[in-house]
Amino acid sequence: MPRHHFKIVTPWTNSKIFWIKFRNTFLNVHALWPLVIREKDYNDFVNPNNKKESDLKKLFLKIVRFWPRVYEPINWATGDVGVKGCDPSDFKAIDPHSQILVDQVLARAQSKDDKFLDIGCNCGRFMDAIANKGYKNLYGVDISQKALDYMPEWFPALKDVAKVECDVFQRYLSNRKTREFDITYSHGATLELVHPSFPLIREVCRVTKNYVVLVINENQNRYPRFWEYEFMRQGFVPVEILRPVSQSVDQENYEAGHNLSLMVFKRR
């Protein structure tokens, strides 16, 4: 049986949150994705010189909520040191909530040959922590080219062990092999920013052989959904749930993670 830990009342029962999660989980047409999104959409997005979506297109996407789109994390794509909210230097340190993710990932590893995928790796702090334990098959994807550019300087130990790509999660996951990675992990805000028109959880589960480890804001951010249901639907069962993740750290660090949840899923 999975271990569930609860300490505070969370907005699970809030009717507005429930409806948003219901919409993001059930009211989408995933079959539209390959019909609407073209390679040009991906390439235009990752080009730092590309303009943002037009106001007319944004209005259309706001009205037709289920329509596939890629542009949501555009601010992260153009982030750099000094850019408020998207500064890679803000993600160099392993704070208490980040350490929980690292500990859970390492606890699920079965051998030094395991392959790890970091979704939203930024400048590489999690990969560096894992590499320091002797693991060498590390993969990462992030939309911020600037963050990846700082990785060799800030975390030189990753030079020979990390294989990273600048891309949107949708294309990266779609291009990976089935069960390619032993453990996939992510720390919010990452997966919560992917529009639900893309079958995100299905693809995360498809490329993962054993475990998915998340520390995310499951009830807020841009696209909250019924995370446990979606993973279980893909054949992954929860083995560790901690809400909020802050209950396992000292009071000084509580506030920073009081909206975050630890969620560990294992392939059935």
What would the two tokens of residue 82 be?
């000094």
- The radius of gyration computed from the CA coordinates of the chain, to the nearest angstrom, equals 18
Q: One-letter amino acid identity for 265?
A: F
Q: One-letter amino acid identity for 28?
A: N
Please give the average per-residue pLDDT across 37-53, as a whole number: 76
Mean pLDDT of the chain: 89
pLDDT at 79: 84
- Beta strand pairing call for 208-216 and 137-142: unpaired
Q: What is the pTM of this model?
A: 0.91
Contact (CB, 8 A) for 142 and 117: no
- Residue 38 and residue 21: Cα distance in Å, rounded? 27
CA atoms in the 13 A half-sphere facing the CB of 200: 26
Contact (CB, 8 A) for 229 and 201: no
Strand partners, 119: 141
Say what percent of the chain tops pLDDT 90. Answer: 69
Highest mean pLDDT: which range of 11-20, 81-90, 176-185: 176-185
pLDDT at 70: 87
- Residue 247 and residue 257: Cα distance in Å, rounded? 9
pLDDT at 10: 46
pLDDT at 38: 92
**Domains, the chain:** 1-268 (3.40.50.150)
**6 or 164: whose pLDDT is higher?**
164
pLDDT band with cut points at 50, 70 and 90 for residue 50: low
- Residue 36 and residue 22: Cα distance in Å, rounded? 23
pLDDT digits (tens, 9 = 90+) for 90-140: 999 998 889 999 999 999 999 999 999 999 999 999 999 999 999 999 999
Nearest-5° Cα angle at 112, 136 to 245: 85
